[in-house]
Amino acid sequence: MKKAVRIFWRIFFGGFAAVIILILLANFGVFGKMPSLEELENPSILQASEVYADDGTLMGKYYTERGNRSNVKYRDISPHVIDALVATEDERFYSHSGIDFKSTLRAVFTLGKQGGGSTITQQLAKALLEQGSKNKAFRVVEKLKEWIIAIKLERNFTKEEIITLYLNAVPFGDNIYGIRNASRTFFRKNPTA
């Protein structure tokens, strides 16, 4: 073999081995604590305490800065919301196992100009881990952690449970967390409408 070909294959396999080692190190918590399977099954998403009057009207809420959320069950979410989420965020949601390599490669090769590569499950992992560093080196490590958590979520939850957890966990802007609060704030309706 020519010297250039040998160098290419050494760089290729060296890079591949480095990525595998980084993933293993991230999985074992070298780059920060990884949630256990039990913590993933029972996420401690902060919720607001709601106070209701005798007639059932909401009188007020008590919450911390990131805790203004009220959980909703899958059956109480409009199918239009679910269809819109899948269509805009992750069109192959029902066919991948947490990581959509086609979208990831598109995002890498176009530098994100044609859309990101994160799946709904990865975005949920990011919300659960409370990640989002602006430093590119830290963001690479965070992305590896998101991949690991996304795969664990896909192995242990149904697609319905993942969508429900996502819609209850993500911010919708203006310090509004969860689909129930977002639909009440922006549309003055419950998510079932």
pLDDT digit string, tens, across residues 140-176: 888 888 888 898 899 888 999 999 989 988 888 877 8
- Cα-to-chain-centroid distance, residue 30: 21
**Structure-token match 């309706």, residue found:** 189
- Which region among 29-33, 56-60, 63-67, 72-76 has the lowest average model confidence (pLDDT)? 63-67
| Structure tokens, 8 | 């290419």
The burial class, CB within 10 Å (0-12 / 13-18 / 19+), for 180 is buried
Does the structure show a pLDDT above 80 at 47?
A: no
Mean pLDDT of 12-27: 84
Query: What are the two backbone dihedrals, phi and then psi, of residue 177, each rounded to the nearest 5 degrees?
Result: -115, 135
Q: pLDDT-based confidence at 187, cuts 50/70/90?
A: confident
Does the structure show a pLDDT above 90 at 87?
A: yes
Question: CA 40, CA 127: separation in Å to the nearest integer?
Answer: 12
Q: How many CB atoms lie within 10 A of CB 179?
A: 28
Q: Which of 34, 56, 62 is nearest to 145 (CA)?
A: 34
Mean pLDDT of 106-130: 83
Mean pLDDT for the chain overall: 80
Superfamily name with CATH number, domain 36-187: Biosynthetic peptidoglycan transglycosylase-like (1.10.3810.10)
Q: Helix-strand-coil percent breakdown of the chain, rounded to 5?
A: 55, 5, 40
- Which region among 75-79, 106-110, 121-125 has the lowest average model confidence (pLDDT)? 106-110
DSSP state at residue 69: -
| Structure tokens, 175 | 């310090």
Higher pLDDT among residues 56 and 48, named by residue: 56
Q: In sequence order, what are the residues at sequence separation of 6 or more whose Cβ sits closer than 8 angstroms to the Cβ of residue 137?
A: none
Q: pLDDT-based confidence at 36, cuts 50/70/90?
A: confident
Q: pLDDT-based confidence at 64, cuts 50/70/90?
A: very low
Mean pLDDT of 75-79: 90
